[in-house]
Structure 1
Amino acid sequence: MITHFQYKPLFKQANLPGWRISFYFRGTKYDGIYHKDGQIEWGTILPPKEDVMNLHSQIHELMLFHVYE
């Protein structure tokens, strides 16, 4: 489960798409960029391959709730 999820606009103009995201998953901090098309560009630490689909789904749901409400 994702904890401490945070996001902020990638650009100062909030109407331009793209957000920096960060969160904890199983005790490891991850960060990256969430693009307007739903793709995630991971930061320096990549999640395990077996968790990527699950994380992508959870992040997408969180972004829908917070950004596209």
Structure 2
Amino acid sequence: MIQHFQWKEQPFGWNFHFYYKQVRYRGTYQKDGKIIWKQPDTIADQSFLETSVHDLMLYHVYEDHQQ
């Protein structure tokens, strides 16, 4: 399970970071949906994590949560 997911908008996309299995992951989510991983050097469960990051970005950034 991904824990403590946080993101911050940048001109080129969004920086994000989270913890998965007690390892900190950092990356950039580009506006075209491409993910550039910055940390760690080797991504465990990459397919699962990319799907999870896409889902979290859709929820937090692209969906309108205002009442």
TM over 0.5, yes or no? yes
What number of residue pairs does the alignment pair up? 62
Aligned structure 1 segments of 4 or more residues deviating by more than 3 angstroms: none
Separation (CA, whole Å) in 2 of partners of 1:28 and 1:10? 24
Identity of aligned residues (%): 45
Return the offset for 1:44. 3.3
Question: Pairwise CA RMSD of aligned residues?
Answer: 1.1
Uncovered stretches (5+) of structure 2, i.e. residues with no partner: none
Taking CA–CA contacts closer than 8 Å with sequence separation of 6 or more, which of the two structures ends up with the larger relative contact order? Answer: 1
Equivalent position of 1:68 in the other structure: 62
Question: Which runs of 5 or more structure 1 residues have no equivalent in the other structure?
Answer: 12-16
Q: TM-score, normalised on structure 1?
A: 0.83
Residue number in structure 2 paired with 1:26: 21
